[in-house]
């Protein structure tokens, strides 16, 4: 082997090391993003599985409906992020009053006072995406 072949092999090895380190850094960054996405997904699935809300009572008149919900699960939920549907139509947030305000802890109740037309079907969608149904009447 001559002097030029040693330099050629050295240049090729250095090029391969640089390319390998670049590929490693790129793959490591993508792996971290993917791992964070999986962690976020599994945390959401855990919250959905541990959430157990029960519509305890519904009392309604022609313009107002009171919906009492009991948290029978093991996680705390935020009732301000709930969506209420009457007969498939979303009730606007400004027509809903929540008593008491704040978070719904396990084994506690919350009452939604809804100033809207009298429904025949009620659907409450929690902040974790679970749906709870109630038929009035």
Q: Which CATH number is 131's domain given?
A: 2.60.40.10
Residue 1 pLDDT > 70, yes or no?
no
Confidence of residue 23 (pLDDT cuts 50, 70, 90): confident
SS3 state of residue 42: helix
Q: How confident is the model at residue 113, as a pLDDT?
A: 95
pLDDT in tens, 56-106: 999 988 889 999 999 999 999 999 999 999 998 999 999 999 999 999 999
Q: Which domain holds residue 78?
A: 52-135
Q: What is the pLDDT of residues 99-125, one digit of tens each?
A: 999 999 999 999 999 999 889 999 999
Report yes or no on whether pTM surpasses 0.85.
Answer: no
Which of 9-18, 24-33, 76-85 has the lowest average pLDDT? 24-33
Looking at the fold, whether 37 and 14 belong to one and the same domain comes out as: yes
Q: How many domains does the chain have?
A: 2
- 99 shares a domain with 78: yes
Using the predicted structure, report yes or no on whether residue 2 has a pLDDT greater than 70: no
Cα–Cα dist 74/82, whole Å: 18
- Calculate mean pLDDT across residues 33-38: 91
Alpha-carbon gap, residue 55 to 95, rounded angstroms: 19
Of 55, 59, 70, residue with least CA distance to 133: 55
Q: What is the pLDDT of residue 29?
A: 80
Instruction: Judge if 114 and 71 occupy the same domain.
Output: yes
């Amino acid at each position: 082997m001559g002097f030029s072949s040693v330099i050629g092999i050295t240049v090729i090895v250095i090029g391969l090391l640089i390319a390998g380190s670049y590929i490693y850094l790129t793959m490591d960054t993508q792996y971290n993003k993917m791992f964070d996405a999986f962690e976020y997904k599994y945390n959401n699935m855990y919250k959905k599985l541990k959430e157990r809300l029960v519509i305890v009572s519904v009392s309604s008149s022609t313009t107002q409906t009171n919906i009492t919900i009991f948290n029978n699960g093991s996680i705390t939920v935020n009732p301000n992020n709930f969506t209420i549907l009457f007969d498939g139509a979303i009730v606007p947030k400004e027509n809903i009053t929540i008593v008491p305000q704040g978070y719904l802890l396990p084994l506690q109740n919350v009452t939604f006072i809804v100033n809207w037309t009298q429904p025949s079907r009620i659907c409450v969608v929690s902040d974790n995406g679970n749906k709870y149904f109630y038929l009035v009447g």
